[in-house]
Every structure is written in C-alpha cells, then in structure tokens.
C-alpha cells in the first residue's frame, strides 16, 4: 500500500493521488521514532444507519457504537476473507451486543436489552454519580463475558478469545482481552456521540464514532509475559521508553477530536504525534451491509418441521421473519413455505 507522512498529508490525499474518504474507514499508521503500530477509525453514515434503524435508547446506542468501532479496528487486520464477531453476554439490562465485520469491510450489529431494567439502572447511576461524568456503561452492561470470534470460513476452524466482563466499560474489557489473548501492550480510546451537522434538516443530528488503537508489537525476539496467580506481570514492551512516551501522547486525545467531522484523522495524527513522526497507509473503507436475504430466510425456515412452522404462523397463515441486525422483514404467504 502507498504510505504517507501525516505531517505532509493534511489535505486529505491518501498517498496515491486519490482523495481520502472523510468517513467510514480505518486508517493504519506507524510512528516513525518509536515504531509503534496504530489504527484510527472514523465512522459516520454507516454507524448512523446501524443505530438509527433500531431507535435504541441513547445508552444502548453508545455501547453498540463502541462495539462497532472496536470490531472494525480489529476486523481490518484480517489477512484473509472471513468474519470477526464481537459478542457480549451479561446479566445486565443491556444483556447482549453483537457486531459482525465481514471482509472487506461490511458491518452490521444489534443490541438486546430490557427497557424497564435499563431505565432503572440509568436512574440509579444518575443518582449515585451526581455531578460526575462517570460512564453509565458498567451499570447497564453488568457482568458476564466478552467474546471475539474469528471465522475464516471454508470449513476452517474458528478461533475464539473470551474475557470476563465485570461491571466495567467495553473499553476496559477489551484492554483485558488484549492483555490475556494477544498479550500485547495496548492503548485504546473509543468515542461515540450524536453530532449536529448543519444543512441536513430533520436529519441534522447523526451518530458518529471514532477510535484510536496503539499496540507495541515486538519486531525482534522476545516472548510476552503471561499472568501469574496474582496481578498480571508486565508484558514485554510495557516498560519500553518509546512505548510509554507514545502512550502518553495518545492519552491526550479528546473524545470530540475522534468524532469531529471537520478534523481529518490525518490531521489528528499529526496533532498527537508530530514529534514522533507518523506514516499512514491506505484506508480500509467500511459500509453498513447486512447479509440477510429472502433466500437465506427461506433456507432457515426449511430447517423447521411442519409443526414448528405452524408455531410461527400468523392468524392468516403467513410467516413473517424480521432480521435482528437490519430490521428488514420478510413475509411468506400461506403455502410459500411448507
């Protein structure tokens, strides 16, 4: 891929003369001085489509938006055609998040929650955190598991990494996942918010997300340390001066910078790491795309026995199946599926 130095790329050129996208992409980069690998993501219309079609409560949309951004950051590292699936299963009022990333950049996701419990959890959090900006996410996610599954398809074995999610934010759980499963020093910041964009009329308020991921990947020898029975041991590289310096610079990023439609990711990288120097690669584009179809649903229904189909029928004998991801409904008239 063509590479570019961020300090010389504020115009938005992607390094091969073509205009870089302004939204819905992941941009890989490498710091020059410290040699740290990173990725920055900017989500706009694709995320807004995923969240808006369900009309989730704000807390649910924020959590699902973070899950979509995280899955995209990781999915674009796949070196083969396949799928990355992020899923949470917890005892919280927001008991499930599911996001699929299909190469080369197709996204879909949905959330499952108990509306009454969710509101009660948010009210309790508001009273306990009065005057603080503490995230409500731990209160609604609860405790359970976060799973990352890589499905290479073609009858090849899946790989799954699982980490406990213990009344914490999705970002915290993801960092634990990186420590336990990938055993790499990692920095992660995710931001999701509704942003007002003038000139869009009734659709002026749209969902946006951004994220920054840094990882200290050993370039020669050495094996990361793993956890012992007590606190986790430092990973190889965590005490490296270059890593600590780059991590400190990354930590200065603000949430609004990650989602600002008027601040290009190239310009943000220069703002954060101009002392380090940054080289960016070509962007990985992302789109909102669901794999459901009438043929797929027909195949799904064909697996049911006749009495099982009868349980699904409406009073007029028809069967309607709604996709949890994109909310598309498929209606089958009596006699179409037997």
Tens digit of pLDDT per residue, the chain (338 long)? 334 445 434 334 444 445 567 899 999 999 999 999 999 999 999 999 999 999 899 999 999 999 999 999 999 999 889 999 999 999 999 999 999 999 999 999 999 999 999 999 999 998 887 666 678 999 999 999 999 999 988 778 889 999 999 989 999 999 999 988 888 899 999 999 999 877 777 677 899 999 999 999 876 544 444 444 445 556 778 888 999 999 999 999 999 999 999 999 999 999 999 999 999 999 999 999 999 999 999 999 999 888 889 899 999 999 999 999 999 999 999 888 87
Identify the CATH homologous superfamily for domain 4-288.
Hsp33 domain (3.55.30.10)
Q: Is 328 exposed, middle or buried (0-12, 13-18, 19+ CB in 10 A)?
A: middle
Report the distance separating Cα 278 and Cα 257, nearest Å. Answer: 18
The DSSP letter of residue 203 is G
- With contact defined as beta carbons under 8 Å apart, do 100 and 65 qualify? no
- From the number of C-beta atoms within 10 Å of its C-beta (0-12, 13-18, 19+), residue 45 rates as middle
Ranges of each domain in the chain: 4-288, 294-332
Class of residue 19 by CB neighbours under 10 A (exposed 0-12, middle 13-18, buried 19+): exposed
Q: Whole-model pTM above 0.85?
A: yes
SS3 92: coil
Task: Please report, for the chain, how many H helices and E strands are present, in that order.
Answer: 10, 15
Q: 334: which DSSP letter?
A: T
For residue 175, the surrounding DSSP H or E stretch is helix 170-177
Are 238 and 61 contacting, i.e. CB atoms less than 8 angstroms apart?
no
């Amino acid at each position: 891929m063509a590479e570019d130095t961020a300090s010389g790329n504020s115009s938005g050129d992607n390094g091969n003369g073509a205009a870089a996208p302004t939204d819905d992409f992941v941009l890989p980069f490498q710091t020059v001085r410290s040699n740290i690998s990173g990725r920055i993501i900017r989500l706009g219309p694709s995320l807004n489509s995923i969240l808006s079609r369900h009309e989730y409560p704000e807390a649910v949309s924020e959590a699902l938006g973070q899950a979509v951004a995280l899955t995209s950051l990781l999915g674009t590292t796949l070196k083969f055609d396949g799928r990355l699936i992020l899923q949470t299963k917890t005892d919280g009022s927001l008991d499930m998040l599911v996001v699929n990333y299909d190469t080369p950049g197709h996204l879909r996701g949905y959330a499952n929650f108990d509306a009454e419990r969710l509101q009660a959890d948010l009210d309790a959090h508001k009273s306990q955190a009065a005057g603080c900006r503490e995230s409500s996410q731990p209160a609604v996610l609860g405790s359970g598991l976060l799973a990352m599954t890589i499905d290479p398809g073609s009858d090849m074995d899946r790989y799954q990494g699982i980490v406990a999610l213990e009344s914490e934010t999705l970002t915290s759980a993801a960092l634990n996942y990186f420590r336990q499963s990938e055993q790499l020093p990692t920095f992660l910041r995710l931001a999701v918010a509704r942003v007002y964009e003038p000139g869009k009329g009734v659709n002026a308020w749209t969902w946006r997300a951004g994220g920054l991921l840094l990882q200290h990947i050993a370039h020669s020898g050495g094996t990361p340390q793993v956890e012992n029975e007590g606190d986790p041991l430092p990973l190889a590289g965590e005490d490296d001066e270059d890593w600590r310096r780059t991590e400190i610079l990354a930590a200065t990023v603000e949430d609004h910078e990650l989602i600002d439609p008027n601040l290009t990711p190239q310009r943000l990288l220069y703002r954060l790491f101009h002392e380090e120097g940054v080289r960016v690669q070509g962007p990985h584009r992302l789109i909102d795309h669901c794999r459901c179809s009438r043929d797929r649903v027909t195949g799904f229904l064909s697996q049911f026995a006749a009495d099982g189909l009868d349980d699904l029928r409406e009073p007029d004998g028809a069967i309607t199946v709604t996709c949890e991801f994109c909310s598309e409904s498929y209606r089958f008239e009596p006699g179409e599926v037997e």
